[in-house]
Amino acid sequence: MLIIEKIGRISGTITVPGDKSISHRAVMLAAISKGKTIVEGFLQGQDCLSTINCFRSMGIDIKQQGQRVEIAGRGLTGLQEPKEVLDAGNSGTTMRLLSGILAGQNFFSVLTGDQSLRQRPMARVIEPLKQMGASISGRQSGQLAPLGISGGGLQGIIWETPVASAQIKSAILLAGLYASGKTTVKEPAISRDHTERMLAAFGIQVEREGTAVTVRPGILEGRHILVPGDISSAAFFMVAAAAKPGSHLVIKDVGLNPTRTGIIDVLRQMGADIEIENLRSFGGEEAGDIIIRGAQLKGIEMQSEIVPRLVDEIPVIAVAAALADGVTYIRGAGELKVKESNRLAVIVSELRKMGVQINELPDGLEINGPNKIRGAAINSYHDHRIAMAMAVCGLFGEGKTTIADSACIDISFPGFGELLRQIAR
């Protein structure tokens, strides 16, 4: 259990663990490329460890020593039929992206996950992969895991997805590596583009036209990958520092890919004092240092178009809104209902326990601030983002806040509690 008490301010210079999305992709692409890949800055979170375990079960030699991972790629067709069920644990990214790769394999595999992941929608990736020629079945007519996949013999498609989702897009593009002809995915707005960037870095031809991306089959070559810090992890400390007057926090080497930086735009719109320094390229991705000084934030109307650029940060943005002066509206966030928990419902129930005036909207939240926060006994619902967002709220509360089942934080951010203690004054 994590116990949080009210603090005076946030101060210090830190780094956060490696980007989760990039770490997953590094292992996946390395496994199906020719030759050795070395990854540095790899996120040792449970989700990314699930990805490593799945590839080990398919015969890939992966040596992991802390943040350094060495993968002996076996080429596009080098994966072996797994003897056991592949377990994606709590990780939607592992299950959906891996489905795309498995759709291209001439063998049978079964993919499962924990109780939360077995409730998350899979038809969104299964449908296009079936249309490409894979045989896939799952519970409830192919909507839920466990999934049974017999792949091979794929043809390229043009797929228009109604949801801006990097997981859907990536699953189809990865299957496209095994398909005849070209494969195009068009989304309503651009979701995080790490797959496209990394495919290009591994030597694959990737074309972008507006919100459409096209890949053609090709050969991937192993390489060296440096993973920047995860902006989604940095976001918890950004909000804590931005909302606490007197704070001064420097977060170094954070990934600043423009498809991920919505949190910076929203906090600035709320009146936060945020500067970026040392902006540079980090192996095909932008990175830099984020400097945050505390201020009184103000409520805003967050436009739905920005949601794909900050989808995992909405729980902690709700905390910023609870502390801000005035009303905040968050819209276009219906996807939060199908994450590790129903994040809209859970944010409302847990923030209310801490005295926050908050209502659930059909696809978002309405938060009235500023609120006098009180410590409370919080349930994380085994959702790492909820656990960490509520811990940040606890820093502003009178009395003690306890986060039950806080071990789930290790899913994306091992060491969160320790780092928080280091910068809390």
Ligand X SMILES: C=C(OP(=O)(O)O)C(=O)O
Ligand Y SMILES: O=C(O)C1=C[C@@H](OP(=O)(O)O)[C@@H](O)[C@H](O)C1
**Which residues does the annotation mark as catalytic?**
312
- Cβ 34 to ligand X, closest distance in Å? 27
The residue (of 165 and 379) whose beta carbon lies closer to ligand Y is 165
- Cβ 5 to ligand Y, closest distance in Å? 29
Residue numbers at the binding site for ligand X (CB under 6 A): 47, 91-93, 312, 339-340, 385, 412
CB 421: neighbour CB atoms within 10 A? 10
CA distance 2 to 406: 6
What are the start-end ranges of the H helices in 354-424?
384-394, 416-423
The residue (of 124 and 244) whose beta carbon lies closer to ligand X is 124
The residue (of 21 and 406) whose beta carbon lies closer to ligand Y is 21
Give the bridge partners for 386, in sequence order: none
Place of tokens 């170094």: 252
Both tokens assigned to 213? 């991306």
- Cβ 243 to ligand X, closest distance in Å? 21
Q: Which of 421, 422, 350 is nearest to 2 (CA)?
A: 421
166 binds, among ligand Y, ligand X, none (CB under 5 to 8 A by kind): ligand Y
Residue numbers at the binding site for ligand Y (CB under 6 A): 21, 92-93, 165-167, 170, 191-192, 311-312, 335
The residue (of 166 and 320) whose beta carbon lies closer to ligand Y is 166
Cis before residue 17, ω within 30 degrees of 0? no
CA distance 230 to 23: 10
- Cβ 92 to ligand X, closest distance in Å? 3
309 binds, among ligand X, ligand Y, none (CB under 5 to 8 A by kind): none
385 binds, among ligand X, ligand Y, none (CB under 5 to 8 A by kind): ligand X
3-state DSSP assignment of residue 327? strand
21 binds, among ligand Y, ligand X, none (CB under 5 to 8 A by kind): ligand Y
- Cβ 203 to ligand X, closest distance in Å? 26
19 binds, among ligand Y, ligand X, none (CB under 5 to 8 A by kind): none
The residue (of 183 and 259) whose beta carbon lies closer to ligand Y is 259
- Cβ 250 to ligand Y, closest distance in Å? 25
Both tokens assigned to 165? 């989702």
Helix H or strand E segment including 49:
helix 46-56
In eight-state DSSP terms, residue 33 is S
Residue nearest to ligand X (CB): 92
The residue (of 295 and 347) whose beta carbon lies closer to ligand X is 347
Going from the C-alpha of 157 to that of each of 6, 191, 211, 374, the distances in angstroms are 54, 19, 16, 53
With beta carbons less than 8 A apart as the criterion, state whether 381 and 349 touch: no
CA distance 415 to 51: 20
